[in-house]
Structure 1
Amino acid sequence: MSSKTEFEVSIVGQDDGLCATRAAASYRVDTEQKARAEVNAARAAGLSAYYEEVPACDRN
């Protein structure tokens, strides 16, 4: 991957408001546009989701 950064998407699940929940899924995509689309899809399904920019992993 030529990019020096990636975007880690975390999908949490439904939050009952009583306690913090752990990420049910966490994975990386190569563009912010993809990350935003993944988060929007999860939220449309009623899940809590977010993304953040992270350094790219060396996958040689």
Structure 2
Amino acid sequence: MDREEFARLLGDQTTACEPAREALLAGGDFAVWDGRVPSRQLAGIYAARLRRARK
């Protein structure tokens, strides 16, 4: 997936999409992995986000 294709996928679903799209098109780093992520890894990420959001 190239930079422009990825930027097109960042529509207006959330308020973060526009700044993310702008950063991407300005040359920001990005990575797209092929494959699955273990659920335990995602659970830790989402738990940390939830703790920060509750603060």
Could you say which structure has the higher strand fraction? 1
Which protein is bigger by CA-based radius of gyration? Answer: 2
Structure with more relative contact order (C-alpha pairs < 8 Å, separation 6 or more): 1
